[in-house]
Structure 1
Amino acid sequence: MRVLAGTSVALAAHAALNAVLLRTPPAHPPATSARVRVVVPARDEAHQLGGCLDALAAQTGVPRLEVVVVDDGSGDGTAAVAAAHGARVLTADPPGPGWLGKPNACAQGAADAADVDVLVFVDADVRLAPHAVAAAVALLEQHDLDLVSPWPRQLALTRGERLVQPLQQWLWATTLPLRLAERPGRPSMAAANGQFLALRRAGYERAGGHGAVRGEVLEDIALLRAVKRSGGRGVVADGSQLADTRMYAGWGELAAGYEKSLWSALGGSPAGSLAAGAALAAVWVLPPLAGGRAGLVGYAAGVAGRAVTAARTGGRVWPDALAHPLGVLALDLLLVRSVLGHARGTLHWRGRTLTR
């Protein structure tokens, strides 16, 4: 237990270091002359899209801004909502062999962008602050990046959401050396969130665009890895003052959303993810269960790392951080269900089969 508790302490310290090193966008970014295209892939998002587009229409400091909504086979009037809000609407061709839906929609939205300097991808459930796009462009320019992923503030309202959703930020804050991760190469060192991504068009095309990640469930992380493999630089950044989103409403949505992708999220493969899940349980679940001084130290370190990350990324700190071991255990249970679903070919999302 002492070794596990010591590991928890070391990783909590690493999370605290990353809280200092995390790239922060300017609160008052300069106006940019860059030509920017915002692509919003949308499948049955009529209930969300209006708010997203209103926020995009309110952007400041980006005079040459174009918004493209890619209607990805919706049946709920998504295209009509987009048109009513003044966006250019594209109807996505169905995904071809080897393509998943979101990479396919994003690729079509980014096509014919030779006159664009920066591509921004935003999900329909994201609400951007008025300076968000200009700030993302400023991050690209100030730090010589090809891709930046400003992580939106995650709104977690129910107990299940609050238990698991903050673990996304906690995982990369705890395990990813941010300064090393933003350098070219080392594609395994990557964290990104497709809810809000900004890329230099030249770097996007050099990496192969979404065509390079056409079959990836986690196309955001895969796209950053492709950028890094092609010699580009990219990293996650603090987006808590730029955007917010409620990714999943309630445990049912959250479980379905996590199960579709967890099999590939932690280790890049089902076996790797299971090994990573076992390591998470060993470091953050077993010590509190074992009790004693080492167990108490391990538990306190886990809570501290969770609290530091939540405070830095705009999340709720207390009392949620106190339930950290339960959150890790819930994540591991979702991981097992995800791996089993992948093996059986039963994973679906938005009416489409993800594995065969």
Structure 2
Amino acid sequence: MSDPILTALALLCLLAAALPAILTAVNLFALRRPAPEADPGLVSILIPARNEAGNIAGTVRAALASTAVPVEVIVGDDHSTDGTAEIVRGLGDPRLRVVPVPPLPEGWTGKNHACAHIAGLAEGRYLLFIDADVRLEPEAAASLVAQARRADAALVSGVPRQCTGTLGEMLTVPMIDFLLVGFLPVPLMRRRPDPALGAACGQLILFERAAYAAIGGHGAIRGFLHDGVRLPRLLRAAGYRTDLVAGAGLATCRMYRGFSEAWAGFSKNAHEGMATPRALPVWTMLLGCGQVLPPLLVLAGLFGLIPRLALAASVAACALSLVSRAAITLAVRAPLATIPLHPAAVLVALAIQWNVLLRGGRAGAATWKGRTYPVSGA
């Protein structure tokens, strides 16, 4: 490869690394943990659960420990076979209910069906949906409600602090925070109502009940798997505001255990995110040039294989990439080991997306929690 081409490639890498670096600096300033305020209104904490015996007791206890706002906790037992419902019943709190979810109708995905069912039983003005592996901090519900009121938002969400216990999890899970903080312009999202700017984390979403009902709730996305993308966009299209906050201080979650479970989990909704024929090539260029190629070019430069200008640009791009990852890591309290692993994590994320896209025509389905769904939005 000629020197001018190598130099142009290195400069392209620098530009691709600069974009998320700038957005990271802006977003980490904009995304704050909201201060809680006492509120007399009831908050319904809604937990869909399917075979969550290992998680559910801790999740429910943490939800019941909420302070500053009154809460009810409703667990939707989605045909569990491991004693999930019995564990919840054994906790014996008058604010707690466990209800069976009806059989899954055709055209619905499991989580959406369970969420829609328990939302219909809720009595609160605000509906706080959490996954069965999410542990709320005592002030989390009050903080989210306070932010909804301050921002006049129908939806407030944040990414819980992600707990990772294995190398495979550290190579996959941290990309959630990197993609959100590094590529969503949060101040612009707050100023403009464009549906495309809507985003949420499905692990932790607070809805104002009337707005949730007005758009049809989870029934409006019954055939989809990615509620964190679909629901905020529907709300914004209907004229409602949505907001994001720093969620690492509000809740914790260990969403997957091991690499194979993480690969399957991120694959299940990839078609509703990056893994589309239009989006994935763009994401591959942005992430590949900005996060993966710079350290490789720096290594080549150490052996004198690229010109000095290309090496300088590559060093700058590599520094921007790792500084951005480091800043996000510290903000979300992720393991420090994820910083040097960042280029490899980006490669794994792209491999998951390309695997789903290239297999989509043959497989055309996503499997999760023992259920298989046809791909929607592919």
| SS at 1:241 equivalent | coil
Aligned to 2:27: 18
Q: How many correspondences in the alignment?
A: 350
TM-score for both structures, normalised by structure 1:
0.93
**Structure 1: unaligned runs, 5 residues or longer:** none
After TM superposition, give the deviation of residue 161 of structure 1 in Å.
1.3
Q: Given that residues 16 and 287 in structure 2 are in contact (C-alpha distance below 8 angstroms), is that contact kept between their aligned partners in structure 1? A: no
| SS at 2:207 equivalent | strand
Residue correspondence of structure 1 range 236-247 to structure 2 within 5 A: 236-247=244-255
Q: How big is each residue's C-alpha offset from its partner over 1:2-59, in whole Å with a ceiling of 9 and x where there is no partner?
A: 1221231232122011100113211xx2221112111100000011100001111211
Aligned to 1:53: 60
Q: How big is each residue's C-alpha offset from its partner over 1:70-93, in whole Å with a ceiling of 9 and x where there is no partner?
A: 111111111111211233122111
Q: Which has the larger radius of gyration?
A: 2
After TM superposition, give the deviation of residue 184 of structure 1 in Å.
6.0
2:319 to 282, 289, 300: 300
After TM superposition, give the deviation of residue 275 of structure 1 in Å.
3.6
| SS at 2:118 equivalent | helix
After TM superposition, give the deviation of residue 201 of structure 1 in Å.
0.4
1:342 to 344, 357, 360: 360
TM-score for both structures, normalised by structure 2:
0.88
After TM superposition, give the deviation of residue 311 of structure 1 in Å.
1.5
Q: Does the alignment pair 1:31 with 2:38?
A: yes
CA distance in 2, matches of 1:37, 1:108: 13
Q: Given that residues 184 and 232 in structure 1 are in contact (C-alpha distance below 8 angstroms), is that contact kept between their aligned partners in structure 2? A: no
Residue correspondence of structure 1 range 1-356 to structure 2 within 5 A: 1-26=10-35, 29-63=36-70, 65-86=71-92, 87-113=96-122, 115-183=123-191, 185-266=193-274, 269-291=276-298, 292-316=311-335, 318-343=336-361, 344-355=363-374
CA distance in 2, matches of 1:105, 1:183: 33
The amino acid that maps onto 1:325 is P
| SS at 2:314 equivalent | helix
The amino acid that maps onto 2:57 is G
CA distance in 2, matches of 1:103, 1:299: 41
Q: How big is each residue's C-alpha offset from its partner over 1:234-264, in whole Å with a ceiling of 9 and x where there is no partner?
A: 1221111111011111111111111112232
After TM superposition, give the deviation of residue 270 of structure 1 in Å.
4.9
CA distance in 1, matches of 2:12, 2:285: 15
The amino acid that maps onto 2:245 is A
Identity of aligned residues (%): 35
After TM superposition, give the deviation of residue 67 of structure 1 in Å.
0.9
The CA RMSD over aligned residues, in Å, is 1.7
**Structure 2: unaligned runs, 5 residues or longer:** 1-9, 299-310
| SS at 1:285 equivalent | helix
The amino acid that maps onto 2:21 is A
CA distance in 1, matches of 2:76, 2:281: 35
The amino acid that maps onto 2:268 is K
In structure 2, do the counterparts of structure 1 residues 346 and 226 end up closer, same or farther at CA, with 3 Å as the change threshold? closer
CA distance in 1, matches of 2:315, 2:360: 36
After TM superposition, give the deviation of residue 150 of structure 1 in Å.
2.3
